[in-house]
Amino acid sequence: MSPLDDFAPDVNWHLATGKVLPLEGKLFYRTNGYIVVRNCVSLSELDVYKKRFNAICRGENVPPGLSIVRDITLAHKGVRNDETTVTKIQDFQDDPVLFDYCKNPHIVDIVKDLIGNPTSTLVSMHTMLINKPPDTGALTSRHPMHQDLHYFPFRPEDYVCCAWTAMERVDRANGCLVVVPGTHRGKLLPHAYPKWEGGVNKAYLGIVDYDPSMPRTHVEMDAGDTVFFHPLLVHGSGANRTSGFRKAISCHYANDDWCHYVDVSGTTQQTAIDEVKDMARVRIRKMGLDSDIDELDYKILWQVRARAVNGTKSHL
């Protein structure tokens, strides 16, 4: 018997029309590993998130567990946190303004269509507001091609999904997402830091020996459009070569009815474990706490950030 048998979902979940998505949309996701849904989030909501982003950059009411990340070319320079320097706000699950994004009813219904059913309990596992300022010239605003599952100690991967919403126009010039359709049906590949001359931002691990000849799709979107994608989908993004900004807000959801934690230590995911623990160590020190991160089970670092967006979580 497979260890996943106790968590096995209804195998016919994908064969019915969803609450929001037609059957064709669900099958497109199943075939390609992603789907773009237009006008998912209103411009007024996005404006609220932008204002909160700027307030967090100014240090206003920042939750203890939230991380503010700057570009590697600016991280050790005496520059202030603002829209031109902050590249990411991570783990905003305890910020009520930004976490409203994760509870957006339209997005939640679409995620349920893709990885569950109307009664599924969804859990927010990872949250980010990603800002891509104009590149400093070192091309550090690009993100190597990778698979998000490399970071995650929970399975089955088919019942995990990311919602990634453009907060302003996203295109090839400012570094839109690039995806390799169908790669979600493959396996999890080894990841490491790419050897880029200008350097690589913290935890921007990429697929080792990535083949650039793989057919790619540039996912261009307008503000409010949302791409939903599988955690095994190979994707990345280019540098922002414009004078403007490229913001997006995202949440990784897991179906708590069917997903559970697994031990990934000592596997190819060890590179991610080391990076996540290193970031947690820095964060804990900033909070004035003392803890031996290396002695913590990796799954605990995920349990403390997991938040149910509906219902009550039981497995995650």
Q: What is the pLDDT along the chain (316 residues), one digit of tens a residue?
A: 233 344 445 556 666 788 999 999 999 999 999 999 999 999 999 999 999 999 999 999 999 889 998 877 765 656 678 888 899 999 999 999 999 999 999 999 999 999 999 999 999 999 999 999 998 887 777 889 999 999 999 999 999 999 999 999 999 999 999 999 999 999 999 998 888 766 677 778 899 999 989 999 999 999 999 999 999 999 999 999 999 999 999 999 999 999 999 999 999 999 889 888 877 776 766 666 566 666 678 999 999 999 999 999 999 9
- The pLDDT of residue 279: 77
DSSP code of residue 221: B
> Residue 266 is which amino acid?
G
At residue 1, the pLDDT reads 28
Best CA proximity match to 254, nearest among 122, 58, 136, 94 = 122
How far is it, in rounded angstroms, from Cα 229 to Cα 232? 9
CA distance 138 to 192: 19
Q: Which of 59, 73, 42 is nearest to 249 (CA)?
A: 42
Q: What is the pLDDT of residue 296?
A: 74
**Helix/strand/coil percentages in the chain, nearest 5:** 25, 25, 50
pTM of the model: 0.92
8 A C-beta contact, residue 72 and residue 200: yes
